[in-house]
Structure formats: structure tokens, C-alpha cells
Structure 1
Amino acid sequence: MKKFLISLVTFFLIFCSYAKASTPTQPAVSADGAIVLDANSGRILYSKNIDTPYAPASTTKIMTALLTLENCKLNDMVTVGKKPPVADGSKIYIFEGEKLTVEQLLYGLLLASANDCAEALAEHIGGSIDGFSQMMNRKAKELGCKNTNFVNPSGLYDDKHRTSARDLALIMKELVKQPEYSKIAKTSSYKIPPTNVCKEERPLWNENKLVQPYSKFYYNICEGGKTGYTIQSLHSYVASASKDNHRLIVALTHDNNKTYFNDSLALFKYAYENFDLVEPYLKGQTIENYSINKNSSIPLSLGENFYYTIEKTLASKASFKIEPKLNENLGKASLKKGDTIGTAQVKLDGKSIGEVKLLSGKDYTPKTTASTVLTNTVSTGKTILKYVFYVFIIILAIYIVLRIILIIKRKKRRKRFKYKK
């Protein structure tokens, strides 16, 4: 009986341990919207109301930064207009007519969350706040954002100014590709030197505690982030982290408790501890040789890396397969190495999980053989004979009709001649 009880307890402990390992507990967050997005594979590792639109407050500024880095050089000079100095909310107090570089304004935008810097950049790039807002919305659609509408570059509250946790993550995913972004966003402090108008230095401190080494929230793999708050919007936060080339994005929206630093760390930890990024297929890899005919074949080459994020408990048992879907009439026309010739469906344990482009692995030109020439010649000859036959039939029909008409006319003439006699 004692041995039985020991065995039962041991089994129970092993079972509980297995259950815990196979279904890790997700962290609870106070934000109403939350997501962990794997930037490499696109897989969502944590979700909570990810498509519900909320007012994003100053997390809006990551879109402003993205458009700035895409449209400007850091040393471009910006002359401040009339409106930015009187912007509401947080600012570093720039002046009308002041000349600042794009880089200096970006430091003000991302470290101090300055609304006056946001508006100065918006006017410089879009010509006006409205013009820049249109650019923001066009870019959002390009990135696949479906629940976003921007009306200003700073995030000042407006009932029509909205985005979702998923959309915010998609914007950050694109922004962090810009190397200048992380350089600026990870800077603890910065001083804007005297300008043509302001004779004093402007010291700036980074409000993102995940990049501040002295902070209890310091996260050494954080690539940058942005906080946001207004009374109506509540708190929001978005950040990126990268570990061993595995990049994750966390976005939190509409947080009433201001626990976004703690919650972000918990989400990053949860994702890195429970998921692995795998690359079952790599760009340039030949998956098979496709036979065009008995004498010719072309290698099917992958046009991009394929990433997938998988639960660590399942990684060792995962079975990936790839199924080519080639363009119609492949092989009938010439190909250059690198030409797109179709796609390939990637499957995990029989379930489709994505697709990659397929490229031709070499140049290919259809060969013209003697038999092909003979076949084409015979075919052409048959076509000509067919048309000649049709023309002959038409001419014969016309001849017969004319002959009949002529015979009828002759008979009529004979009858008239008889009557006259």
C-alpha cells in the first residue's frame, strides 16, 4: 500500500510538472489591450483585445519617428514655424524661427516626448499637421494596420485619434529596422546645444526606464520604447527587444494602473522562456529540382528565409514540410536565375503556417530540337493547306452559283427567241 501511494504521488507530481511545462501560465497585465508580436515570424505569442482601438497618447510618436527617418537625413535643418512653439502638452520649448537639425528634434521627440518637436517635424515633412496626418494614415495602411486613424503627430487626445495594440506593434516592428532609431531611443540623456535663438543647452532625459541602466526596470536587450499618457487615453507603452537575433515587440494600450514597465518585462520574459525561433528553410536553399522535360530541369530556390516561432515543448517533435506551387506554363519561356516562378506552402504537422517565394535556381532557355522544328513545320504546313482548302471551297461555291445563274439566263433567252418565231 505504501509503495502504491508513493507511486501515485510520484505520478501526480510528474503529471503536474508536464502539464505546467506544456501549458505555461501567461502573465496578467493591467492594460486593456496587449500583445507580444514576434517580429521575425509574425506570430502573436500573447494577445488581449489586440484589435480594439484606443487613444494611444504619445506612443503615436513612433509613427512620427518612422516617417521622419524614412523621409529625412539626420543633419537636415528644420526652421521652426509659428504653430509648434504653442503646442499643448509636453515640450522642450522651441521657438519660431529657430533652426534645429532633424536629429535634435528626434531626441526631443523620443526622449522627452516633446509635442512641439513632433509638430515641427510634421510641418517640415508634410507641409502641415493635416498633410502629415494623411502620410501617417497611408503608412499605417501599408503596414497592415486595420484599426488606426491618426489626426496629429503627437498623440494629443482627439476622439478620432485611435490605434490598437496589434497596429502599434506593427509600426514598432517597422521603426526598429531603422538603425538610427535604436541609437536615439536607447540614449539615457542628451543635450541640445545652443541654437540661433536659444543660447542655452537643453538637457533631455529618457523617460523609457527599460533602457536606463540605473533603473530597477532596466532590460539590457531592449532596443527602444515609447510611453504615452493623457487623462482620457490613460497609459500606453510599446517596446522592442532582441535576443540572439530573435526580436519581440510588446504593446500595451489603455492602462489605468501604470504598470506597463512591470508588465512589459513579464511579457518579454514569458515569450523568451517559452518560445523558440526556428528557421526550417533559408533563403537560397534548393528544395528540389523541377523536371521541365526529359532533358531539362531547374532548381527551385527559396527567395527568402522562413521563420517560425514554436513552443519550446514542441520544438523537438516539430515536422516541417514544404509544397511548391509553380506558375502555369513554367518552362515554355526563358528564365533568368532569380526570377520568381511560384510560391511554396510551409506546413507544420500537416497544417499550413505560411508561404515563401520560389525562384529559378539557374538560367533556362527552351531548346529547339530538329523534331520540334519538323513538328512546327508540319503544323504550319497543315494550317496553310487548311486555309487553301477553305479558299478553294469558297471559290468553287461561287463558281457553281455563277454557273447556275448563267444557265438560267440562257434558258430564258431561248424561250423568248421561240415565242418571237
Structure 2
Amino acid sequence: MKRKMKKILSGLLCVAVALMPAAKVWATDVEEEAKKAYELPVQSNEIENWPQGPAVYGQSAIVIDADTRSILYAKNMHDKHYPASITKVLTALLAAENGNLNTDRVTFSQESVNFLEPGDAYIGMRAGEEISLKDALYGVLLASANEVSYAVAETIGTKMQGNGSGYEKFVKAMNERAEELGATDSHFVNPHGLQDENHYTSAYDMALISAELFEHPEILEIMETYEHTIGPTNLVNESRTFQQRHEMMETWNSHYYEYCVGGKTGYTDEAGNTLITLADNGKMRLICVEMATRGQHIYDDTRSLLDYAFAGFSRQEAKSSILESAEEDVHATITEKGPVYVDLPVGIPQEELEFETGEENGVSMLYLTWQGQTVGKVAADVDEKAAQRAAGDGKKPGAVTSIRKILEESIWIVIGAAAVLILIAVILVFVIRRRKRSSFLRLSRRKQRRQESQRRRRMKRAARRSRRRGRKRW
């Protein structure tokens, strides 16, 4: 028996030794990929006078203000990536919007547990079990349980209008809701984020979706929980306990961040590490998303990005004089009640703001911009005729107004310069012609004097010859 155990241990040791070089190569490849991502350009750093943000190891990253939706940091924010389990943020949002967390019950179908594969995150639910929707969302957001996400989609989907199963209607609603929130780069095919080539999104889209979570305190309450227990069910007498997976929420963890109030982790081999983090320092509420990250960098990156945004920008209530100027310049009357906020780099006065108009989901909007970047927005009625007259050619009024002023000033400058040049040219032509004429006259007089002198000399010579002949004759 001892010999047999020794052989087994020796075999395992040999296998481990054999795998070590492969593991080392894999780790080297991961760090090399992370280094390449670190060197990718940060587009927000290319904006003139914009606060310079840190380099990060994710291929894509973004930080936005959850209230104004202003983009404070952007690195390839529209690139499409596999989201992995951060998909579950949208699943939880739809469940909260279409269900009742306290009264609705989630029942697990055979399909919701059978689709799991080895290595998938789960909490061991069985077909036929039933739990509250609130307990289910704890399982979705804290434990990242894939079978729970599937069952939530099936249950909530039955409440939705349309054709197909509850699961199919829920997935369709995921894409519709994402589009309503402003997503432009996404296509979701499941509620859990397990790998599928047709399941993708961007850091920008996930930031907009995550910002909506601040409107649902019941979801934030779940996200802020460190540990949760689902009690015995109709089929299982034992309790299930699981913990928070977002390390910035764990007070004992080295990655703990005091302003973090929620978030969601994600990982698959194809997606790499993905992370959503919600932060609130009492002055600003931020959403940070990083995607396609390799290695152990994502929490340090997130801390750097949040520190950068909190320190580099100031969230301010727009002055009434600024809003009055906006209404006058772009012919837009603000329709929203309450204060309007802007996010400006620290030290930049509101007087440098410019204004534009546009539309979101059929609603006319007034945009407050700085250096071409939207730093605040508010719903407003736009006088289209006046705006068109101000804008011309369908361009945005705020931008066109300033450009038009510049062009008008430039035209007068050009006209004045042209007039001066023409006057100088006329004077030069007159002077040159006069000089030529004077020169010609001087030449003519010189020629006449020379000819007259020559004629006199000829006459004198002729007179001398005549006198000589007269002497010889006498």
C-alpha cells in the first residue's frame, strides 16, 4: 500500500514538474499581453487641457459621472469585448424594473441547472426549487451564480409582452433596455455572460447601464452586502451562504476602497478580467468600467482611475446666468425642474462653457460642453426655426454661432487686407510708371543735347576747312 501511494505521489510530482514550464510560459504570455494593453493610447488624454489620466492594463476603460453621464476618462471605450459576468448587472436591473423583489418567487427549471458546465459559477440550486426574487438577486450579484441568472430570466420574462418563452423575451428585453439607456455597441444573447461569440458589449455601454443602478437603492443594498444566506427551500433543508466577490467592497482586503458602494466582477478565458465599480465620495457618484484585462492589475487600475476622477474634476451646479446664456445662444428653453450640474476640470470657470442642442430617445436636449466634450446636459424645448437660422446647414447652434463670429471677423480682416494690398499695388504701379517716364524723358534730353553738340562740332570743323582753302587760293 505504501509503495502504491509512493508511486501515485511520484506520478503526481512528475506531472506537476512537467506542467511548471507550461505554467511559466502562460504567465509570461499573460503579462506580455497586459503590457501591450498598458501601452494603448488613452483618448481622453488627447483632449487639449483635459486632466491627464493614468495608463491602465485593460484594453478598454471608462469613468463617467453617474448623474450627468459626463465622460471623464476614456480608453477605447467603444471597442467591443466579451463582458463575462458583468452581464449580470443588466440582468439585475431588468429584474428590479419588472418584478417585485419581496413578493415575486423564482422557480428553477430543469434547463436552468442542466446548462451548467464544469467550472461555471453556481450555488447548487436544484430543478423545482423556489426562492424569493430578492434572494435570487443576491445569488446573481454576490455569488455570480449562473443557474440563478438563468432562472431569474425565465421567471421575469414571463411577465413581459411578446412571443417566445420567458427566457427568450427576457434576452430580447436586455437589448431593448440597453439601447434605451444609450448603448450603441452591444448584443446580448444570455443573462449570465458565459462565453458566446455573439454576446458582446463595450465599456461605454456598460457604464451607461451601470449608472442606472443608482436609481435602484434595493440593488445597491444587495451590492453593499458582504455575506448573504439563502435559507432552506421547498426541496433543500440546508442553507446556502456566499460572500461578496468585489474586493474593493471587502474592508479586510488590501484592495478595499472607502468610496466603493457596489460593483460586479467578471472573468472567462476569452473575456479576461472585467470589472464594474460604483463609487460615491459625497460630492460625485462615479462609474468605472474596465474590460479585457490580463494579469492581476484590475483593482489597482480601478483605484487609479477613481482617484484621478475625484481629484481632477469638480461637479458644480450650473449658474443661472450660464443657463440664460445657453437659452439665448441656442434658442433652447430648459424643461427639467431642479438644478443642472456640470463636471469641469478643477480650476476651469463655468464662463468657458459652450452650448449645443441634440436629441436622445426622442427628447430634445441642451448640452453644456467644454473643449468639445459634453460636461452636462438637460432636457429642453428647442426653437427649431431660430436654431436653424442660427446654425445654418443643420449644424449644431452652439458650435456654429462661435464659428460664424470667427468667420465674419475673418472676412472683414481679409477684405481690409485686400484693400490695403490693392492700394499699395496701385501706388507702386504709379510710381514705377512715373519713374520710367522720367527716365525716358531724361534719356531723350541727353540724346538731343548730344546730337546738338555733335552738330556744332561738325559745323566748326566745316568752317575751319573752309578757311584753310581760302588761304591757299590767296
- What is the aligned counterpart of 2:101 among 55, 59, 74? 74
TM superposition score normalised by structure 2:
0.61
- How does 1:59-138 map onto structure 2 within 5 Å? 59-75=86-102, 76-88=104-116, 89-127=120-158, 128-138=166-176
2:343 — aligned with what? 309
Asked if 2 retains the 8 angstrom alpha-carbon contact of 1:111 and 1:204, the reply is yes
Amino acid in the other structure paired with 1:303: E
1:38 aligns with 2:65: yes
1:319 — aligned with what? 351
1:269 — aligned with what? 307
Amino acid in the other structure paired with 1:306: V
- How does 1:11-410 map onto structure 2 within 5 Å? 24-75=51-102, 76-88=104-116, 89-127=120-158, 128-281=166-319, 287=324, 303-304=336-337, 305-312=339-346, 314-315=347-348, 317-319=349-351, 346=368, 356-357=378-379
Residues 347, 30 of structure 1: CA spacing in aligned structure 2 closer, same or farther, 3 A cutoff? closer
Identity of aligned residues (%): 34
1:50-80 deviations in whole A, cap 9, x for unaligned? Answer: 0011000000000000001001111211221
Cα offset for 1:322?
A: 8.4
Cα offset for 1:286?
A: 9.2
Cα offset for 1:120?
A: 0.6
Asked if 2 retains the 8 angstrom alpha-carbon contact of 1:157 and 1:232, the reply is yes
Residues 168, 86 of structure 1: CA spacing in aligned structure 2 closer, same or farther, 3 A cutoff? same
Distance in 2, Cα, partners of 1:343 & 1:158:
37
Amino acid in the other structure paired with 1:171: I
Cα offset for 1:175?
A: 2.0
Cα offset for 1:347?
A: 6.2
Structure 1 unmatched runs, 5+: 1-21, 291-299, 326-341, 360-421
Larger Rg: 2
Asked if 2 retains the 8 angstrom alpha-carbon contact of 1:87 and 1:115, the reply is no
Distance in 2, Cα, partners of 1:260 & 1:46:
16
Asked if 1 retains the 8 angstrom alpha-carbon contact of 2:367 and 2:376, the reply is yes
Cα offset for 1:23?
A: 6.6
Asked if 2 retains the 8 angstrom alpha-carbon contact of 1:36 and 1:44, the reply is yes
Residues 34, 199 of structure 1: CA spacing in aligned structure 2 closer, same or farther, 3 A cutoff? same
Greater mean alpha carbon deviation, residues 33-42 or residues 133-142: 33-42
TM superposition score normalised by structure 1:
0.68
Residues 101, 345 of structure 1: CA spacing in aligned structure 2 closer, same or farther, 3 A cutoff? closer
1:1-35 deviations in whole A, cap 9, x for unaligned? Answer: xxxxxxxxxxxxxxxxxxxxx77542121111100
Asked if 2 retains the 8 angstrom alpha-carbon contact of 1:51 and 1:164, the reply is yes
Residues 192, 349 of structure 1: CA spacing in aligned structure 2 closer, same or farther, 3 A cutoff? closer
Cα offset for 1:242?
A: 1.1
Amino acid in the other structure paired with 2:378: V
Cα offset for 1:303?
A: 2.1
Greater mean alpha carbon deviation, residues 201-210 or residues 211-220: 211-220
Amino acid in the other structure paired with 1:356: V
Cα offset for 1:190?
A: 0.8
Distance in 2, Cα, partners of 1:73 & 1:192:
18
The answer to which structure has the higher strand fraction is: 1
The answer to which structure has the higher helix fraction is: 2
Asked if 1 retains the 8 angstrom alpha-carbon contact of 2:318 and 2:350, the reply is no
Asked if 1 retains the 8 angstrom alpha-carbon contact of 2:70 and 2:374, the reply is no
Q: Secondary structure at the match of 1:156?
A: coil
Residues 343, 223 of structure 1: CA spacing in aligned structure 2 closer, same or farther, 3 A cutoff? closer
Distance in 2, Cα, partners of 1:277 & 1:237:
24
1:239-271 deviations in whole A, cap 9, x for unaligned? Answer: 111122411110011111132111111100011
Distance in 2, Cα, partners of 1:85 & 1:351:
47
Q: Secondary structure at the match of 1:239?
A: strand
Cα offset for 1:356?
A: 3.3
Residues 217, 83 of structure 1: CA spacing in aligned structure 2 closer, same or farther, 3 A cutoff? same
Asked if 1 retains the 8 angstrom alpha-carbon contact of 2:71 and 2:375, the reply is no
Q: Secondary structure at the match of 2:178?
A: helix
Structure 2 unmatched runs, 5+: 1-48, 159-165, 328-332, 358-363, 382-474
Cα offset for 1:324?
A: 11
Asked if 2 retains the 8 angstrom alpha-carbon contact of 1:192 and 1:201, the reply is yes
Residues 133, 324 of structure 1: CA spacing in aligned structure 2 closer, same or farther, 3 A cutoff? closer
Aligned residues: 313
Amino acid in the other structure paired with 1:309: D
Distance in 2, Cα, partners of 1:229 & 1:25:
29
1:326-359 deviations in whole A, cap 9, x for unaligned? Answer: xxxxxxxxxxxxxxxx976646699986653458
Cα offset for 1:96?
A: 1.2
Asked if 2 retains the 8 angstrom alpha-carbon contact of 1:50 and 1:164, the reply is yes
